[in-house]
Structure 1
């Protein structure tokens, strides 16, 4: 296997550059080694296929060790724009230290920050400088140990990364497609800038200084940026977009773009990165909604020619393989008016700061993976991989090798070079174990060991591989019931259920239905290129009364269906579930009779009817468990708190009652009243 040597001046820089090359998947093709300048030796230099040097000044130190025919690349470096948010709060002209290991490095970083619009009075500082007592703020690119002791505030923007152009140059040297690795080369750079604009509050945006800083960043991006409002007017574009789209200073609408560009931008999915081909030119695009006061305010599109990232041909479909390595969603993508959901998000933001295991509970279609990605993006691991694995989608025979990888020749049909498993791919990042309730007994045993020991062994291997990974698990099943049935290990459950989070079903957050409908309408309006449409009052009421077994996923499908068949208004008769929601009286009675059998077979029909009768009292609008337990006791029925919880849970699952958090308690639904009336009519 070919080898590449990374040479830097300090250990911190070396560690950062090697981690970056590992993160983009270069280690799958070549062996990566790293040394600082003082660790170089003439004897071992001939074994490398390429030497990558961190800067020009370091190259002068390395040159005596290099043979004349040794291929060498001097890196071009850039900052991580996602980490400069804190710099925007420093008043213009403030004197600050720019701390680095070498004078050239400090000057290079200063130049990049000034080009990005950071208007501060920078003083380079490296170990030989005499500290200035009047300077109290220090900015450092990954070298906090070099900051003078008298400094009050240290802002570490992280070691400068290898620029995308140098990454492509390294890949070209080894004749590797830059887009076949395990991480998309451009996604991080683009995402950090998008996140930076999103983090700026309205108050900051009104500041003239910071507006100039932000505009300078956007105008100097190598990616094209375009923003248009709900009236399809183009509100903002940068120089790159003007060049690609032939835009002038005059006012434009999105319709004035060339038809091929307009069609591509309108048809692409929101919140996803994708490849599109426009007039035989390949582009990488990302589309994002900007939402203010729960309404879509404008749309942001960021795009760039693929040829800027790579100069050789590659397979576009590799994007599908890479998709689960990057977490696309953030907490801003969870749209809600529900106080319970907002409280859950507040708790989830706190839990994201921890490395402890999280268990997400929720019905199908409630957005468990969106929440998992948001947690990852709000954590310290946001720039590391996010790996998603669905236990219901991969066969049991393949699951072990997919999760833990395998050594060369581990079994018939194995790749000759072996295979890196999902846990190894998630090293330093997060792994999302979706539908964990479907894991087989064998996989449950292996998962328990991984969670206990934080290390794995590949299939066919003989050594333990240490892991640094954050685990987020999710399920739509009742794990406690699976434990009672002997289908799920209790010790694994307690390993997973460290920080539990519950996603509410859509029927318990009815105020969100109209909000989500408006967002989905805008999405399909653009995707289908049709005129705007709205849901009639009758259709909205019907949606709010529907029980939504498929939750948000089903609601999105309903809006997509309406977008295809409806005109300006969507009427309740056009909703795909209207027929099932409008059952005849005989059909409704049959449905209620089946519920009767369910409770009768479980042996607590009498208790259920007593609870429904209590909640149906006009004097009782809602009640907590203590009030329900007292009512049962008065009528000669004594239940433990656990038994009452279970009955309450079943009534909620069958839509006979609604269970609210806090003091609100439980209240009977229309279906619950029908069931109660159905049983009383038999007496």
Structure 2
């Protein structure tokens, strides 16, 4: 084989990578600059190779020089080589055959877009919280009034939530996606002794892993290159005296679970780069659609943190277990969107309501709300809703013909339909479990539901 071939293969590989790769010698002269680096920094190879890298960047902003000085590699470190650039950088020293330091190589993954989206989301969330607080100041309302439904399933949960709201107990809200877990968290806060303090929501599934610590605990001035010169408080500090809502808590990385547990136990945090502890007095409400007990058994969630969060738990029922609430929910949403879009409120007959009760609504209340909006937007004034209802409903609901006559959308009509659907669902689950030899992961995938949802249904139908 031609000795030149391995070198060309390596050069081709480095050029094809999405990560920016740069190599400098001990004098700071650039000896390699791949295509991704050209695109990210808008500096061509012909411009920079053979030149001092400090011509293009401030020395203090370069990880290469820090690694050359310490001869200690860094891996996946959050870094800002420029004020408008955010990267995860891995930098390692390079030695010759005699173990003499001859340079350093940096591999940088651009996460600027992710950072900016997260900042925008955080800013929007803050503005929404301010607006909500202003509305609450002008008119007092029962904090749980936004949770609609009169079924036994939902009213029992509301009663429990109201009891625990008056305490400082940590609450774990469990339920499928779209059941209204954050709505319960907000209501508990607004009905608590901390209602006049901040309600800070953290979506654990939306924050890049490298930013978790700075988002939760904040950082001191100069904690890292490009950091705000005044430092930045984390979400736990912002929630001091108020409530911290950890949404999708099952997505927390294991290393952050340890740090969060310590902060909750000690009731104090350390900012990144800080030496002085900061006391925090917060109430924790966490929510997840995942089976945390199963995650604990699988080593994906710390047992001690689970029991720390599991002081009191609320199980929010899926919509398929509170079918009698569909009529009230749907009318609420139709009125809301008719007012929003200044359109006529579509009227639904018993035949159409029967379709709604037959459908399982896997997306829960969120799916029903979206359906209501779609119905209002597409409905034309004076049009007979029965002529177009089938087009608006999910395909699965088409099993019941719109020509069927149902006396009224009252419990006797849809209770039997719900029972029939549950029997069918139970048999389907049993068939899939037999097909997959009781492999829960494969069964959940074939059924098109989350594994946590499957475990809930197994328990419900006595199949666990």
CA contact (8 A) 2:200 2:245 kept: yes
Structure with greater helix percent: 2
Question: RMSD in angstroms over aligned alpha carbons?
Answer: 3.2
SS in 1 for 2:145: helix
Unaligned runs of 5+ in 2: 1-123, 401-423, 441-450
Matched residues in 2 for 1:396 and 1:370: separation?
Answer: 26
CA contact (8 A) 1:562 1:574 kept: no
Partner in structure 1 of residue 410 of structure 2: none
CA contact (8 A) 1:434 1:474 kept: yes
| 1:562 lines up with 2:400 in the alignment | no
What's the CA shift for 1:183? 9.9
What's the CA shift for 1:581? 5.2
1:452-500: per-residue Cα shift (whole Å, max 9, x none)? 1111111111111111100000000000111121111111100000011
CA contact (8 A) 2:199 2:245 kept: yes
Larger RCO, structures 1/2 (Cα 8 Å, 6+ apart): 2
What's the CA shift for 1:403? 0.8
| 1:192 lines up with 2:137 in the alignment | yes
Partner in structure 1 of residue 394 of structure 2: 577
2:274 to 436, 448, 461: 461
1:653 to 454, 457, 463: 457
| 1:519 lines up with 2:323 in the alignment | no
2:154 to 333, 336, 341: 341
Question: Matches of residues 219-298 of structure 1 in structure 2 within 5 Å?
Answer: none
TM-score norm. by structure 2 comes to 0.59
What's the CA shift for 1:395? 1.0
CA contact (8 A) 1:428 1:469 kept: yes
Matched residues in 2 for 1:516 and 1:498: separation?
Answer: 31
1:418 to 207, 231, 253: 231
SS in 2 for 1:431: strand
What's the CA shift for 1:648? 13
Distance 1:484 1:531, change over 3 A: same
Name the count of aligned residue pairs.
Answer: 301
CA contact (8 A) 1:352 1:375 kept: yes
CA contact (8 A) 1:566 1:574 kept: no
Partner in structure 2 of residue 408 of structure 1: 221
CA contact (8 A) 1:536 1:569 kept: no
Partner in structure 1 of residue 433 of structure 2: 598
CA contact (8 A) 1:562 1:570 kept: no
Distance 1:372 1:187, change over 3 A: closer
What's the CA shift for 1:574? 2.0
Distance 1:482 1:183, change over 3 A: closer
1:486 to 290, 299, 302: 299
What's the CA shift for 1:578? 2.4
What's the CA shift for 1:566? 2.5
CA contact (8 A) 1:362 1:503 kept: yes
Matched residues in 2 for 1:532 and 1:471: separation?
Answer: 40
CA contact (8 A) 2:319 2:364 kept: yes
Unaligned runs of 5+ in 1: 1-178, 200-329, 584-588, 606-646, 660-665, 669-683
What's the CA shift for 1:406? 0.6
| 1:452 lines up with 2:265 in the alignment | yes
1:331 to 144, 148, 156: 144
**Larger Rg computed on CA atoms:** 1
